[in-house]
Amino acid sequence: MRRLRPLARKLRRWTGRNRPAILLYHRVARIAHDPWALAVPPDLFAEQMEVLSRTRRVVPLTRLAEELERGRARANWIAITFDDGYADLLHEAVPAMQRFDCPATMFVTTGALGGAGFWWDRLSEAVFRPERLAAALALGAGRDRFTWEPAAGADRQQLHMALWRRLRRLRPGDREEELAAIERWAGIAPDRERDRAMTAEEVRGLARSGFFSIGAHSISHAPLPELNRFEKAAEIAGSRRACEEMLGQPVLGFAYPFGDLDPESCEEVRRAGFRFACSTMPEPVRADSPRYALPRLSVGAWSGDELLQRLP
Ligand SMILES: [Zn+2]
């Protein structure tokens, strides 16, 4: 296969498949229950970095954004981004990135730094425990009551999706209460070390390393279109302030939690002083891509060659 790669590269040039793109990762880890496909296993991630370094020009996102401001989208350029701020990157991603000289931007959820992790990991960990198939689950009260009865062929995916939608719109305090109830139902305690977010000190260390730049990803990872304008501004400008205080340097980029955005959110991102923002619209970057909704391609647990096939 290796001998064929230069040929594949030429072929891509002839067919014009070398369009610039921003890649989106979340975590680099081996996770048993990963319903949103957030994790790329470390060995595949290393393959992906090797292939990217050999076939593309991997540039910092700020560099790509600067070129866009000049109206240019450079062929062959790739920018790598990570959302949320998972600590697993430190041991599982950074060594491969350094080895293959691949810089990246990490968008951190500032309210999660130093915390036990993210609610969606705790939820999937609880729901996909097969030994709990026998127990019924009840949450909330009155019109807001949620019940689930185990039955033959009960669909865990469906239960997971229903609970995910429910928890996503709850305020942090209510969500914590319901998560705790779900974990009691599942008979588990969250794996706080495995799923944790980075500490502020770890983020500062990455920023100091020089090949990671830091962007903001809101304070609480709330879906912004569901908030009023004041709440949006607080999440957006507040996360910029928190990042800048933590790092002592300007923070230029924002990424929308869940990729959810509306015109008001984009406007608040601009008003907060960010220079650009990333969505999850799965497209290559074009010279006229909206600066406050840059498209990104989500990368899955693919081999290096598969990633190459999927790149635009
Ligand atoms: Zn996120």
The CA distance from 32 to 24, in Å, is 21
Residues 42 and 171 in one domain: no
Look-up of token digits 């608040």: 268
Residues 201 and 176 in one domain: no
* Ion ligand 1 contact residues with beta carbon within 5 A: 83-84
- The DSSP 8-state label assigned to residue 284 in this structure reads -
Tokens of 285: 């970057």
Residues 75 and 219 in one domain: yes
* CA neighbor of 219 nearest in space, from 186, 197, 192: 197
* CA neighbor of 26 nearest in space, from 79, 85, 101, 94: 85
Residues 56 and 147 in one domain: no
Please report, for the domain that includes residue 264, its CATH number.
3.20.20.370
The CA distance from 72 to 67, in Å, is 5
Residues 9 and 38 in one domain: yes
Distance 84 CA to ligand 1 centre (A): 5
Inter-residue contact 169 to 226 (CB < 8 Å): yes
Tokens of 212: 């990671």
What does the pLDDT read at residue 33?
Answer: 86
The CA distance from 165 to 222, in Å, is 12
Tokens of 73: 């989208």
Length of the chain in terms of residues written? 312
Q: Model's pTM, two decimal places?
A: 0.91
Bridge partners (DSSP) of residue 88 are none
- The DSSP 8-state label assigned to residue 140 in this structure reads S
Which of 186, 205, 220 represents a domain boundary (last residue)?
Answer: 186
Residues 305 and 238 in one domain: yes
Inter-residue contact 264 to 231 (CB < 8 Å): no
Distance 139 CA to ligand 1 centre (A): 25
Count Cβ neighbours within 10 Å for each residue of 194-209 and write b for 16 or more, e otherwise: ebbbbebebbeebbee
The CA distance from 83 to 38, in Å, is 10
Which of 128, 162, 186 represents a domain boundary (last residue)?
Answer: 186
* CA neighbor of 61 nearest in space, from 272, 266, 296, 300: 296
What does the pLDDT read at residue 9?
Answer: 58
> Per-residue confidence of the chain (312 residues) as pLDDT tens digits?
445 555 555 555 555 579 999 999 999 999 988 999 999 999 999 999 999 999 999 999 999 999 999 999 999 999 999 999 999 999 999 999 999 999 999 999 999 999 878 999 999 988 887 665 568 888 988 888 998 888 766 688 889 999 999 999 898 889 999 999 999 888 888 777 888 999 999 999 999 998 899 999 999 999 999 999 999 999 999 999 999 999 999 999 999 999 999 999 999 999 999 999 999 999 999 999 999 999 999 999 999 999 999 999
Residues 177 and 203 in one domain: no
What does the pLDDT read at residue 1?
Answer: 47
Label the pairing between strands 146-148 and 297-298: unpaired
Domain hosting 155: range is 119-186
What does the pLDDT read at residue 200?
Answer: 97
Distance 88 CA to ligand 1 centre (A): 15
Distance 100 CA to ligand 1 centre (A): 25
Tokens of 235: 């999440």
Residues whose CB is less than 8 angstroms from the CB of residue 188 and which lie 6 or more positions away in sequence, other chains included: 125, 126, 129
Number of domains in the chain: 2
Residues 199 and 127 in one domain: no
Distance 17 CA to ligand 1 centre (A): 29
What does the pLDDT read at residue 172?
Answer: 86
How many whole angstroms from its chain centre is CA 53?
A: 21
Residues 124 and 111 in one domain: no
Distance 299 CA to ligand 1 centre (A): 14
